[in-house]
Homo-oligomer: A and B are copies of this chain.
């Protein structure tokens, strides 16, 4: 339920905290902050504030708690579940961290970087590179998403296999609590067993427990060797067997193992500039294999070749190409990373971001395909993703050839119905209905249905313990009574 609309007087008090130059109430300027990329949600808000310091964030939240004003934190506005979008009633004030974009410190000896919550991910990657380090988080929106959002959604992406999610890349946080109090947990420690793990509670909470204004992130040595290959395969089952071989052969040098279907290659070659099919014949499935090594550059080549040989001998790999230049490595990744964009010109797409125990991937892919095609004959399933993490973006483009052809709206109307089918199979396999995108508004009610009541109850108790006034990104993740 939305809260009462803030009065003009109250809005003026909020504005005074950041100064009029950093407060936006003009509808045209506000408009892009009220929608999200997929067009699933459109919110309303009387005011967007751009605090410049942690103290200003604190003052805003203190006033919000005292006056019962709902606030929505927003960083890059690239989230896919409506977590950063204000509700439609017009009560929610948006707090944008875009001005808090300083890199506070780089400690090369300790291999950490300390940043504001509003720094763009690509800026962190760049700052790391400048001191010959790697910040491994990498995802499609890295040019615009910001660290506070990456932390609040426990972002994943393409380097999770070797380096883990955002959760694993963070050592410490600075958080402004809903009451305005500042928790200084900006620790640079790899080991710190002193009480409850508050850090991991804020990470992934989607801004419902506080606003992350600063973070200590881990840096890594830059790999010396790097190689990328693409293999044509017959099935997800073969891909899984190949992944096992890769994991055994390469250990932590295996930095990516992505699964792609033939239709995804067709979409990208058709719609994305510069993408060409790297293999001369079509294959039902493809694995993109990425290997990074810390010793000699040739080791990565040797490993890739050895893996593909093993794959050929075992009858898993039908054909394969190894990148012959850095440009070709990038081209192979570009094909994978534009697979989602390449679906847009194909009409409506019903999306899922699911994970299953990786041993269950072949089973899941078979079951889901049968069930989806039975429900929506002609649906074009473009299921791709991070096989090594058990995470599939199970996207379904609208049919070409039945009554839904050309009728995007009719297809999208079946979003919930199709979700229910796919998620049912995911849950039967012990999987997750949100592997990396989070819950936000999109999956909030579904989560409450599928999780044991005690789990939702514990979440509600935590929410209440941290945000007794209920002002912090309300309506997201967990509904309060």
Interface residues of A, Cβ cutoff 8 Å to B = 107, 109-112, 153-154, 156, 160, 162, 164-165, 167-168, 177, 181-185, 187-198, 200-201, 203-205, 209, 220-221, 223, 240, 244, 247-253, 293-295, 299, 302-303, 355-360, 386, 389-391, 430-439, 443, 447, 451-452, 454-455, 458-459, 461-466, 477-478
Give the chain B neighbours of A389 by CB distance below 8 A.
190-191
Is B250 within 8 A of A193, CB to CB? no
Whole-angstrom distance between the Cβ of A172 and the nearest chain B Cβ: 9
Give the chain B neighbours of A454 by CB distance below 8 A.
177, 181-183
Query: What is the bound-complex CA distance between A355 and B188, given in angstroms?
Result: 10
> Known contacts A191-B165, A194-B439, A201-B200; is A251 also within 8 Å of B221 by CB?
yes
> Known contacts A181-B454, A357-B110; is A294 also within 8 Å of B253 by CB?
yes
Is A203 within 8 A of B197, CB to CB? yes
Is B193 within 8 A of A221, CB to CB? no
A432 in complex: contacting residue of B189, B247, B248, CB < 8 Å: B189
A196 in complex: contacting residue of B190, B204, B252, CB < 8 Å: B204
> Known contacts A177-B454, A185-B455; is A435 also within 8 Å of B192 by CB?
yes
Give the chain B neighbours of A187 by CB distance below 8 A.
430, 432
Give the chain B neighbours of A192 by CB distance below 8 A.
355, 432, 434-435
> Known contacts A390-B191, A477-B195; is A358 also within 8 Å of B223 by CB?
no
A294 in complex: contacting residue of B189, B201, B250, B433, CB < 8 Å: B250
Is B191 within 8 A of A359, CB to CB? no
Whole-angstrom distance between the Cβ of A82 and the nearest chain B Cβ: 14
A462 in complex: contacting residue of B154, B190, B462, CB < 8 Å: B462
A194 in complex: contacting residue of B110, B250, B434, CB < 8 Å: B434
| Shortest beta-carbon contacts, A-B, top 5 | A251-B294, A109-B359, A200-B200, A461-B465, A188-B357
Query: What is the bound-complex CA distance between A336 and B160, given in angstroms?
Result: 33
> Known contacts A196-B462, A294-B251; is A432 also within 8 Å of B477 by CB?
no
Please name 29 pairs of A and B residues whose Cβ atoms are closer than 8 Å in the assembled complex, sorted by A. Answer: A109-B244, A110-B360, A153-B193, A154-B193, A156-B191, A162-B252, A164-B168, A183-B454, A184-B452, A189-B430, A189-B435, A190-B389, A190-B390, A191-B386, A193-B437, A194-B432, A194-B434, A194-B438, A194-B439, A195-B447, A196-B205, A196-B463, A197-B201, A198-B458, A200-B200, A223-B251, A252-B252, A252-B253, A253-B294
Query: What is the bound-complex CA distance between A67 and B244, given in angstroms?
Result: 52
Whole-angstrom distance between the Cβ of A307 and the nearest chain B Cβ: 11
Is A107 within 8 A of B359, CB to CB? yes
Assembly stoichiometry (copies): 2
Closest to A163 in B: B252
> Known contacts A197-B201, A295-B299; is A189 also within 8 Å of B465 by CB?
no
A250 in complex: contacting residue of B184, B249, B295, B466, CB < 8 Å: B295
Query: What is the bound-complex CA distance between A293 and B251, given in angstroms?
Result: 8
Whole-angstrom distance between the Cβ of A207 and the nearest chain B Cβ: 12
Is A110 within 8 A of B358, CB to CB? yes
Give the chain B neighbours of A204 by CB distance below 8 A.
193, 195-197
Is B466 within 8 A of A195, CB to CB? no
> Known contacts A187-B430, A452-B183, A466-B458; is A359 also within 8 Å of B193 by CB?
no
Could you list 11 further interchain pairs (A-B, Cβ under 8 angstroms) beyond the known A190-B390, A191-B435, A198-B459?
A154-B193, A167-B197, A177-B454, A188-B430, A189-B357, A195-B477, A198-B455, A251-B293, A251-B295, A295-B303, A462-B465
Whole-angstrom distance between the Cβ of A178 and the nearest chain B Cβ: 11
Give the chain B neighbours of A109 by CB distance below 8 A.
240, 244, 358-359
A438 in complex: contacting residue of B111, B183, B189, B193, CB < 8 Å: B193
Query: What is the bound-complex CA distance between A168 and B443, given in angstroms?
Result: 27
A190 in complex: contacting residue of B194, B195, B355, B455, CB < 8 Å: B355
Query: What is the bound-complex CA distance between A358 and B112, given in angstroms?
Result: 10
Whole-angstrom distance between the Cβ of A248 and the nearest chain B Cβ: 5
Give the chain B neighbours of A253 by CB distance below 8 A.
252, 294-295
Query: What is the bound-complex CA distance between A299 and B357, given in angstroms?
Result: 32
Whole-angstrom distance between the Cβ of A380 and the nearest chain B Cβ: 25
Is B252 within 8 A of A294, CB to CB? yes
Give the chain B neighbours of A181 by CB distance below 8 A.
454
